[in-house]
Chains A and B, each alone.
Chain A
Amino acid sequence: MIAFVSGGARSGKSRFAEQLARDWHRQSGGKRYYLATARVADDEMADRIARHRRERGEGWITLEEPRLLDEALDSVEPGSTLLLDCLTLWASQWLFGSGFSEAEGERMLAALLGKVRQNTIGLVVVSNDINEDLPPADPETWRYLAFLQGRHRQLATEADRVVEVVAGVPLDWKGMAER
């Protein structure tokens, strides 16, 4: 099972995604993993990561991988549940922190989703909605937005469930029958 959860900043998307991952884990057994894409760049980011970790509570095996998400999956036991938080940071690190191309990003995400299906992993992906503002004026930000949106569409196509979170309230876009 694959779920894609997105929303605005501090919309409650991570909390909802964590609960969904807990529910899936309770149903399917296996281990429960948290794949963090964030890198500690400054004190604010360190505080943010610590807060998320506190809010998640116990029982998570934390993996950290800012770029090669499909390789991180090699550490995840088949039949487990994996929460990936978040795709927004991964996208910036992929494009600007590594020099990978958009096409390579699409292929990497496809490989990740393929491995998830193959190993019967319950995957919940969290990302930010950033595309309903005035379009960015500079080409590099446009490039980032287009890349991230491409991955969002890729995920929405592949996912069994797609959820938008608004002020903590989940709005189902796909797969409501699985609720």
Chain B
Amino acid sequence: MQLFIGGACAGKQEAVKSRFPEASWCRLVPGRPLDIWREQAMLGTTLVVTGWLPWLEEALRSETDDDALYLMLVEELQALPEAERKDALDVVLILPEVGRGIVPMAAGDRRLRDLVGRLGQEAVAHAARVWYVRHGLVQGLGQPGNTGDSR
């Protein structure tokens, strides 16, 4: 599993499209189950999963227990690499970086920001490669030798 993370309009989708032109894309649908990606996971292909922020925003409206929601996310993030092994699937996650601003005034925004941050950390724990996208340039994070290409 690979993770592309970056701020709004940083060029994440373009970075993924240029690297995985044949991939199928699954945009999570707010209010629908998280495992909608299974419907589009085809044997031996690359699946891009995106749309996490609006999905979480909606989920936080109906689920008041943030930890329960977080555990659901953890389970799903564990299922993705399992599906990779089982179905020879390559999964690419696109996640937003939203934690570098002022602490929001609204409680709902603070919950959302925290949850996205926790999701990012959990996704990194399951990802084989992590890429940070900034102004259309891409750098590898974390792994030795994963220095990125800044394209």
Contact = CB atoms under 8 A, between A and B. Distances in A.
B137 A174 contact: yes
A156 interface: yes
Given A132-B99, A133-B98, A133-B100, A162 B8 contact: no
Contacts of B113: 134
A146 B9 contact: yes
B4 to A, nearest CB: 14
Contacts of B10: 131, 149, 153
Nearest to B11: A153
B135 A134 contact: no
B150 interface: yes
Contacts of A164: 134
A96 B20 CA distance: 37
B123 to A, nearest CB: 16
Nearest to B8: A131
Contacts of A133: 7, 98-102
Given A133-B98, A134-B104, A156-B136, A174 B7 contact: no
A132 B137 contact: no
A152 B8 contact: no
Contacts of B98: 132-135
Interface of A: 4, 6, 8, 129, 131-135, 145-146, 149-150, 152-153, 155-157, 162, 164, 173-174
Given A132-B6, A153-B9, A156-B136, 5 more contacts: A4-B135, A133-B98, A133-B101, A134-B104, A153-B136
